[in-house]
Structure 1
Amino acid sequence: MSDKRSKTLHERARTYTPHELAALSGCTVRTLHHYDELGLVRAERGDNNYRRYGPAQVDRLQQVLLYREVEVPLADIKRLLDDPAFDAREALAGHLRDLRFRRERIDGLIASVENTLATMEGGAPMSDAQKFEAFKKDLIDQNEEKYGEEVRERWGEDAADASNAKMAGMTEDQWGRTQELQRQISEELLAGMEAGDPAGEHAQRAADLHRQWLCAFWKDGTYSKQAHAGLVEMYVADERFKAHYEAIAPGAAEFLRDAVKAYCA
């Protein structure tokens, strides 16, 4: 048996004190105690009631730390890991995809900063397209990471890929227009909420601006009132989408949904 395999088998058989596992994992002992209290990574108890961590706890802690790295809340991590259908191999494959997305985003931003510095130091000037390319790619990658699965399930691979390609090909002026549309949507939405009527002038203006914003990103010719109404239902049902509009004002997601429903009726 190789020395490496022998060492691995030995590690799989050993247990760790909280201090030993903290040193091994990079966690603090306080964090391990907190995870124990939450039932997230429960330590075993010896005859002296001291905490010990065996192979199962080490593996579970690794999963917890990987999920924390991609900012999954502790309550959601516990629910995932406690699910009888949880597949550790599939989870690790997902972590790997997320980390590769992050690496690509960071690499793109690093390249953009390096090119900008080179320009400032007398190198070849960057085109306007180059200046914004990394930021657009970063946004595309973030959207894929957060919403890609739902979007592809609901509207299909072709629609998702076409939308990404449309965003990547935007000029600076086109991108600026989408940002201005977002500002106007927020403004009209707040005015509509103050008036209190989803079918009123400001609310309907917000709904039409929202249509224009969607058409800037959706594949040409794919907009329909049915798809528009279906999307805003998702804004209310999915907390990730809802949070964007709730940042404008509490209840904004529901008000926009009602305004769009009236607009599409």
Structure 2
Amino acid sequence: MRTVHEVSDLSGISIRTLQYYDRIGLLHPTERTQAGYRLYSDDDLARLQQILLFRELEFPLKDIKRIINSPDFDRSKALEQQIELLELQRSRIARLIALARELKEKGTGMPTFEPFDTKKIDEYAAQAKASWGSTPEWKEYESKSAGRTDEEERSMGEELLSLFKPFGQMAAEGADPASEKAREQAKRIQDYITEHFYTCTDEVFLQLSRAYGAGGEFTRNIDAHAGSGAGAFAMHAIEAYIEG
């Protein structure tokens, strides 16, 4: 666990900014000391990284919060977009450096403004932003979450995670993910997502299940709240439920 001062030193983000992220529900520390001081886990730092990546894409904080709190947030997709944007930026910086060196060595010459053109970067950033807001699921989520407070959003996220606890218990007992009990619990999760976030079709639910059991941030969060193996068990239970 790291203190807010340590996270600030490590990330280069000011303490005031970290406090603001906590206040608006964008980045809550996992724990607090008895004196109320913030303590950040490795998962918190991973979330901060993702926030900063979206900031590089010039997403507003309110959009970042909605995206990374969404049940179908695709971290891999976000990273692919960030890599592409950085490659474009690196290429532009290389051209600017080459132009500066040429001007230094040769003095004035035929003026060129191509290295200053940010059109490609702007177009890609716009496409990336559109990809997060154009799906019917995202539109529905935006509509349903419009009037909610941060506390309500947090509470629903916790309620959703609590629905995975039976999976953790089943995994510990060596139960069959294709059992009727497991499939019924999968349906409860699907129904909860549909009621509170967006219409969770079988296709979308199957995609979510792969994220639940892929071993990444989704899996770690589920296992932390529901018990070791809950994420992987959920994936297999949802697959069995969808397949009928």
Place the TM-score, normalised by the shorter chain, in its bin. 0.3 to 0.5
Q: Specify the structure having the higher radius of gyration (Cα).
A: 1
> With CA pairs under 8 Å and 6+ residues apart, which has the higher RCO, 1 or 2?
2
The two structures have a TM-score, normalised by structure 1, of 0.44
The two structures have a TM-score, normalised by structure 2, of 0.47
